[in-house]
Amino acid sequence: MENPLLSSFETPFQVPPFEQIKPEHYMPAFLEGMKQEKAAVEAIITTTEAPSFENTIEALENSDELLSRVSSVFYNLTSAATSDKLEVISMELAPIMSGHNDDIRLNETLFAKVKAVYDQREALELTTEQLTLVENTYKNFVRGGANLNDEAKTRFREINKELSVLFLNFGQNVLKENNRFMLVVDNEADLAGLSSTSIAAATQKANEKNLEGKWVFTIHKPSLLPFLANAENRDLRQKMFEAYINKANYDDSLDNKAIINDIVNLRIEKAQLLGYENFSAYILDKNMAKNADNVYKLLDQIMPNALRVAKKEVADMQHMITADGHNFKLAPWDYDFYATKVKQQKFALNENEIRPYLKLDNVRDGMFWVANQLYGISFTQLENMPVYHPEVEVFEVKEENGDHLGILYMDYHPRESKRSGAWCTSYRSQKYENGERVAPVMSIVCNFSAPTADAPALLTVDETETLFHEFGHALDGLFANKHYSSLRTPRDFVELPSQIMEHWAFEPEVLNHYAKHYQTGESMPAELITKIEKAGKFNQGFATTEYLAASYLDLDWHTQTQVQDWDVNAFEAASMKKIKMIDEIVPRYRSPYFLHVFSGDGYASAYYSYIWAEVLDADAFEAFKEHGIFDKNTASAFRTNVLELGGTEDAMELYKKFRGSEPGIQPLLNNRGLN
Q: What confidence tens digit (pLDDT) does each residue in 151-188 have?
A: 999 999 999 999 999 999 999 999 999 999 999 999 99
Rounded CA gap, 631 and 476, in Å?
19
Region of 660 please: left (phi>0), alpha (psi -120 to 50) or beta. left
Assess contact for 508 and 538: CB atoms under 8 A. no
Mean pLDDT throughout 502-522?
Answer: 97
In this predicted model, what pLDDT tens digit does every residue of 279-310 receive, in sequence order? 999 999 999 999 999 999 999 999 999 999 99
Q: What is the CATH number of domain 356-534+610-672?
A: 1.10.1370.40
- Alpha-carbon 434 to chain mean position: 32
What is each CA distance from 627 to 125, 364, 608, 634, 670, in whole angstroms? 39, 25, 30, 7, 19
> pLDDT tens digits for 621-657?
999 999 999 999 999 999 999 999 999 999 999 999 9
For 456-500, the pLDDT digits (tens) are 999 999 999 999 999 999 999 999 999 999 999 999 999 999 999
- Tell the CATH superfamily of the 4-147 domain: Endopeptidase. Chain P; domain 1 (1.20.1050.40)
Q: How many CA atoms lie within 13 Å of 409's alpha carbon, on the beta-carbon side?
A: 29
Provide mean pLDDT across the span 129-134.
98
Spatial contact of 550 and 594, defined as CB atoms under 8 Å apart:
yes
Side chain identity, residue 421? G
Alpha-carbon distance of 628 to 191, in angstroms, equals 46
- Counting Cα atoms < 13 Å in the Cβ hemisphere of 562 gives 3
With beta carbons less than 8 A apart as the criterion, state whether 317 and 334 touch.
yes
The answer to whether the CB of 95 falls within 8 A of the CB of 103 is no
Q: What is the mean pLDDT of residues 238-257?
A: 98
Against a cut of 0.85, is the pTM above it?
yes
Q: Which residues, at least 6 apart from 604, have a Cβ–Cβ distance to it below 8 Å?
A: 267, 279, 283, 554, 558, 596, 597, 598
Phi (first) and psi of residue 428, to 5 degrees: -155, 125
DSSP tag of 453: S
pLDDT reported for residue 675: 84
Q: What does the alpha-carbon distance between residue 615 and residue 395 come to, in Å, rounded to a whole number?
A: 32
Residues 6+ away with beta carbon under 8 Å from 254? 173, 176, 177, 180, 248
- pLDDT for position 632: 97
- The residue count of the chain comes to 675
- The answer, yes or no, to whether residue 1 has pLDDT greater than 70, is no
- Angle among Cα 18, 21, 26 to the nearest 5 degrees reads 125
Strand extents, DSSP E, 344-392: 378-381
Per-residue pLDDT reduced to its tens digit, 393-434: 999 999 999 999 999 999 999 999 999 999 999 999 999 999
Read out DSSP for 294-343?
A: HHHHHHHHHHHHHHHHHHHHHHHHHHHHHHTT--PPP-HHHHHHHHHHHH
Element (H, E) at 259: helix 257-273
Active site residues: 470
3-class secondary structure per residue, 411-442: ECCCCCCCCCCCEEEEEECCEEECCEEECCEE
The answer to whether the beta carbons of residues 456 and 355 sit under 8 Å apart is: no
The predicted pLDDT at position 22 comes to 97
Q: What is the dihedral of CA 497, 503, 504, 505, to 10 degrees?
A: 110
Q: Give the whole-number percent of the chain exceeding pLDDT 90.
A: 99
What is residue 520's predicted lDDT score, i.e. its pLDDT? 97
Cα dihedral sign, 645-650-652-657: negative
Residue 395 three-state SS: strand
CA dihedral angle for residue 193, residue 194, residue 195, residue 199, rounded to 10 degrees: -150
Q: What is the pLDDT of residue 23?
A: 98
Cβ(493)–Cβ(651) under 8 Å?
A: yes
Give the tens place of pLDDT for each residue, 32-68.
999 999 999 999 999 999 999 999 999 999 999 999 9
Interatomic CA distance for residues 647 and 190, integer angstroms: 52
State the amino acid at position 336 in one-letter form: D
Task: Give the whole-angstrom CA distance, residue 647 versus residue 133.
Answer: 9
Residue at 143: amino acid letter: R
Q: pLDDT-derived band of residue 375, with 50, 70 and 90 as boundaries?
A: very high
Q: Round to whole Å and give the CA distance between 500 and 440.
A: 21
Cα-based distances in Å from 416 to 49, 618, 661: 53, 36, 46
Q: What is the mean pLDDT of the chain?
A: 97
Q: What are phi and psi of 4, to 5 degrees?
A: -65, -15
pLDDT in tens, 322-359: 999 999 999 999 999 999 999 999 999 988 899 999 99
Max CA separation in the chain (angstroms) = 85
Instruction: Please tell me the distance from the alpha carbon of residue 30 to that of residue 24, in angstroms, as a whole number.
Output: 11
Bridge partners (DSSP) of residue 378 are: 398
- From the CB of residue 476, how many other CB atoms can be counted at a distance below 10 Å? 24
**What are the extents of the domains in the chain?**
4-147, 181-245, 356-534+610-672
Q: In what order do the strands lie in the sheet with 423-428?
A: 378-381, 393-398, 404-411, 441-445, 423-428
